[in-house]
Amino acid sequence: MASMFALANPKRFMDASAQVLPWLAGTASLVLVVGFFLGFVAPPDYQQGDTVKIMFLHVPAAWTAMMAYGLMALTSLFSLVWRHPLADVAAKSAAPLGAVFTVLGLVTGSLWGRPMWGTYWVWDARLTSFLLLLFLYLGYIALWNAIDDEVRAARAASILALVGAVNLPIIEFSVNWHTLHQGESIVRADGPQIATVFLWPLGLTALGYTLLFFVLWTIRIRTEILERRARSMMLGEPT
């Protein structure tokens, strides 16, 4: 429990993140460049042709969108239960990023669906539950903006984030419900059902998206801390 509060002090977080951020950003950039290059030079799939390369944008975006919501719900739990000083800042900062990755996942999925299914959209379990994820993000952001008192806003938004977290396992397991969406082909008991030439760039781009999220998340948290400091100074409150 002590380690959870190690960076609770805003100044300590700012100092630590300033040292880590350049390295994290450099690593994210390198991994993404290598991943996208391998994806670009990968051969066409025997069934999907070059359309398969949309996977290197779509799958990592969908994974990152779900991870971001999971982190938002977790930090919301820290805020409600343990009153972690920076938990509500972290949750609030994650929401817009998660929404952007969700939109990217929806758009790239539609672009893949048109040549594969003959339509940009179908109301199956995976697509509908993933669209609901976007609405949860937007609702969370709207709730924060609708309440002037930051303490009340953080509490209400945290409750919404935790309630909405039930959608994550629905998204994850919905492909097992005989939906039109492609089934699980990587994390399987009998091993990945995807060629190595596609698996490597997919893994690298997923890692790159994850690192990119943490870079942007850290920047947003730092920005939120500075904005709160500025407001406190304008109001004459101790920082």
Residue range 150-181, pLDDT digits in tens: 889 999 999 999 999 999 999 888 766 666 66
Which pLDDT belongs to residue 143? Answer: 95
**Would you list the domain boundaries of the chain?**
34-43+51-181+205-234
Averaged over 95-116, what is the pLDDT?
Answer: 93
Instruction: Return the closest-CA partner of residue 111 out of 195, 69, 50, 70.
Output: 50
Q: Which two tokens stand for residue 19?
A: 């040292």
Averaged over 193-201, what is the pLDDT?
Answer: 81
Higher pLDDT, 95 or 193: 95
Q: Are 139 and 152 in contact (CB under 8 A)?
A: no
Q: Given a cut of 80, is residue 238 above it in pLDDT? A: no
- To the nearest 10 degrees (0 to 180), the angle between helices 87-117 and 125-146 is 150
83 φ, ψ (degrees, to nearest 5): 55, 40
Termini Cα distance of the chain: 25
Q: Given a cut of 70, is residue 78 above it in pLDDT? A: yes
